[in-house]
Amino acid sequence: MLLGLFAAARLGQFARVDPTLGELIGRPPTPLREVLEETLSPQPATART
């Protein structure tokens, strides 16, 4: 299954988003690249008191 997702992504099958998605969720869709960059970026350490 993951190989199929990888192949579909390489073929650009996830590049377009139907405008219906934004209408359904009430906001513009967030691109997967943006979600992954935010999720995978190093987070600053928080100070413990």
Q: State the pLDDT confidence band at 42, using cuts at 50, 70 and 90.
A: confident
Report residue 42 as tokens.
């190093």
> What's the CA gap between 27 and 38, in Å, rounded?
18
Q: Is residue 32 situated within a structural domain?
A: yes
Q: State the pLDDT confidence band at 47, using cuts at 50, 70 and 90.
A: low
**Residues 18-44, mean pLDDT to the nearest whole number:** 89
User: How many domains would you assign to the chain?
Assistant: 1
Closest CA to 29 of 21, 37, 41: 21
Closest CA to 9 of 25, 31, 39, 38: 31
Q: What is the pLDDT of residues 12-26, one digit of tens each?
A: 888 888 899 999 999
Helical H runs in the chain? 2-10, 19-25, 32-40
Q: Is residue 1 situated within a structural domain?
A: no
Identify the pLDDT of residue 14.
81
> Which amino acid is it at 8?
A
Q: What is the CA radius of gyration of the chain?
A: 16
- Name which residue leads in pLDDT, 9 or 45: 9
Q: Is residue 47 situated within a structural domain?
A: no
